[in-house]
Every structure is written in C-alpha cells, then in structure tokens.
C-alpha cells in the first residue's frame, strides 16, 4: 500500500468477506474515481472502480473488457463499458449489497452493508500527487539529452561537412546516396588544380553533456525524494553521521 501510494499519490484498500473470512484487495490510484463529500477528502459519497479483464468471445479469441463497479451507500452496481462509452449491466457479476450471509437454518441469504463505503484511501501526502508529476519533465529532459548526445556522436550531415574539389559526378543531390551505396567518389584535376575530398568535423564537447546529466539526475533524485547511492558521502568508509545526513535529506525533501 505504501509503495502504491507513493507512486500513484494515493492507493485504495478494499475490505470484503470471502468464505466467511475478512480479506483485502488493493486498488491502484488510476482504477478508482472518488467522489468526496468534504474538501479534506476524508469521507466518500461514492466511488467508481474501473478495471480491465481478458475474456473470450464466440470465436474463442481474447478481447479486453472494461468492468465498471459503482460503489455507494446501498451496495455496488456492476456494469460493462461498451466501445461507445455506454454502460450495460454485467450479468456475470453480482450487484447488490457488499456482504451476503446465508442463514444455515433457513438457507436464506441475508444482505449486509458497511456503514461507510468500503474503500480506505492511503495518501502519500495531502496533495495526492503521483510521483510521475514531480519528475516527468526532468526525465523527459534527461532522455532528450541522451538522444541528442548519441546523435551528435554519429557521423551525419549535422556534424560532418564534406568539402569536394573538382567533383566529377552527378549533382550533389545524389552525392550522399552514391557515397553510401558504393563507398567511393570520383574526383579529377581541372586546370592544374588537384581534386580531392576533405571533411570538416564539428567537435562535440562531451563535458557539457556530463554537466547537464549530473544536474538532471540530482534534480530527479531531489524531486522524487530518492536516495542517491552514489553520493560522495558514501565513498570510502562512511560513518554514521554521513548516513544519517543522507537520509535526513530525503525526509526534508
């Protein structure tokens, strides 16, 4: 529950009875749509649990089926969401009260409901923000940095310029294609001027990328309240004071 709350901002615990014993299920944050009765998000008016299952159709092919469970004070109503967004009753699920107990004497089923909607919300903080919202822009920048650095390390038209002297061939539109296909080009001497091919290479400063990489990694660890196992304070033989200082940094963040 703690891990799910930290990743999704909140996580849900659903208590239920199975075989006469109390059991629990965990619902991730993206499966539950809550309707709160108060601004502090402590009391639920209702909640909608949406999840996907695999089922077989008439042709014995698997398909994704979206199940929808509407939880309210009177019990739960089960539906299936169609492709057009409409809901139809789910004939294979049980709608009604949350708990049903069979009387051993009469064999009659007695319905029971919880006093409150049986969903317990565990929150990472009162903001209820998922971890992705704090680090997505930084992670995207880090991925772009890696991609750009890899592109700059390759030889392409962006960092290598060919200087051709007395090129004896087709127009320059086909030059790159011919060079890639045959691996050779033809040059000639014209009016005493020797022909040849030279390259002008634009050097890539890797130190700039390393500096940005370090800054982005530090920012991701700080925003995610993570633990940096490669911290300089862990070098050599770290003492108890250094270790406590590192963990206190995570707590303050």
pLDDT digits (tens, 9 = 90+) for 97-133: 998 888 777 878 888 999 999 999 999 888 898 988 8
How, if at all, do strands 75-81 and 87-89 pair? antiparallel
- Phi, psi (deg, nearest 5) at residue 31: -100, -10
Segment 77-94 mean pLDDT:
92
Average pLDDT, the chain: 82
Listed in sequence order, the DSSP H helices in 111-186 are: 131-153, 175-182
Q: How far apart are CA 121 and CA 124, in angstroms?
A: 10
Average pLDDT over residues 154-165: 61
Give SS3 for 231: coil
Kindly indicate the confidence band of residue 248, based on its pLDDT and cuts at 50, 70 and 90.
low
Q: Can you tell me the mean pLDDT for 147-175?
A: 67
Q: Is a pLDDT exceeding 60 seen at residue 253?
A: no
Q: What is the pTM of this model?
A: 0.65
Q: Quick one: pLDDT at residue 231?
A: 66
pLDDT 10s digits, 14-68: 999 888 889 999 999 999 999 999 999 999 999 999 999 998 877 778 889 999 9
Mean pLDDT value across residues 62-86: 93
Find the mean pLDDT for residues 185-197: 68
Q: How many Å apart are CA 1 and CA 121, to the nearest integer? A: 10
Spatial distance between the Cα atoms of 221 and 204, rounded to a whole number of angstroms: 27
Confidence at 71, pLDDT banded by 50, 70, 90 = very high
Classify 130 as helix, strand or coil: coil
Q: Which pLDDT band, with edges at 50, 70 and 90, does 240 fall under?
A: confident
Distances (CA, A) of 65 to 49, 54, 56, 80, 241: 14, 6, 10, 7, 54
Q: Is the pLDDT of residue 69 over 90?
A: yes
Q: Where are the alpha helices (DSSP H) in the chain?
A: 2-8, 131-153, 175-182, 206-223, 240-252
What's the pLDDT at 25? 95
Q: In whole angstroms, how far apart are CA 186 and each of 28, 164, 169, 189, 190?
A: 65, 10, 7, 11, 13
Give the phi and the psi of residue 153 in degrees, each rounded to 5.
Answer: -75, -20
Task: Single out the residue of 115, 22, 28, 118 nearest to residue 76, CA to CA.
Answer: 118
Distance between first and last Cα of the chain: 21
pLDDT at 4: 92
Phi, psi of 202 (to 5 degrees): -90, 115
Q: How confident is the model at residue 149 (pLDDT cuts 50, 70, 90)?
A: confident
How far is residue 59's CA from residue 114's CA, in Å, rounded to a whole number?
41
**Position with higher pLDDT, 252 vs 65:** 65
Q: If you average pLDDT over residues 136-151, what whole number do you get?
A: 86
pLDDT in the model for residue 92: 87
For residue range 192-211, list pLDDT tens digits in order: 667 676 665 666 677 888 88
pLDDT score at 194: 72
pLDDT of amino acid 199 = 67
Give the Cβ contact number of residue 225 at 10 Å: 15
């Amino acid at each position: 529950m703690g891990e799910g709350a930290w990743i999704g901002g909140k996580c849900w615990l659903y208590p239920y009875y199975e075989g006469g014993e109390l059991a629990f299920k965990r619902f991730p944050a993206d499966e539950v749509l809550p309707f709160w009765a108060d601004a502090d998000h402590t009391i639920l008016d209702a909640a909608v649990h949406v999840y996907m299952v695999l089922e077989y159709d008439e042709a014995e092919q698997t398909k994704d089926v979206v199940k929808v469970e509407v939880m309210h004070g009177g019990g739960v109503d089960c539906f299936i969401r169609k492709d057009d967004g409409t809901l139809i009753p789910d004939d294979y699920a049980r709608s009604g009260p949350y708990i049903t107990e069979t009387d051993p004497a009469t064999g009659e089923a007695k319905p029971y409901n919880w006093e409150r909607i049986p969903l317990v919300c565990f929150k990472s903080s009162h903001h209820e923000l998922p971890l992705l919202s704090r680090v997505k822009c930084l992670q995207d920048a880090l991925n772009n940095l890696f991609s750009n650095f890899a592109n700059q390390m390759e030889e392409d038209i962006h960092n290598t310029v060919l200087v051709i002297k007395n090129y004896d061939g087709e127009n320059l539109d086909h030059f790159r294609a011919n060079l890639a296909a045959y691996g050779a080009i033809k040059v000639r001497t014209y009016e005493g001027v020797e022909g040849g091919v030279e390259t002008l290479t634009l050097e890539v400063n890797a130190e700039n990328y390393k500096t940005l990489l370090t800054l982005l990694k530090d920012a991701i660890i700080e925003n995610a309240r993570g633990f940096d196992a490669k911290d300089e304070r862990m070098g050599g033989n770290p003492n108890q004071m250094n270790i406590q200082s590192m963990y206190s940094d995570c707590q303050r963040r």
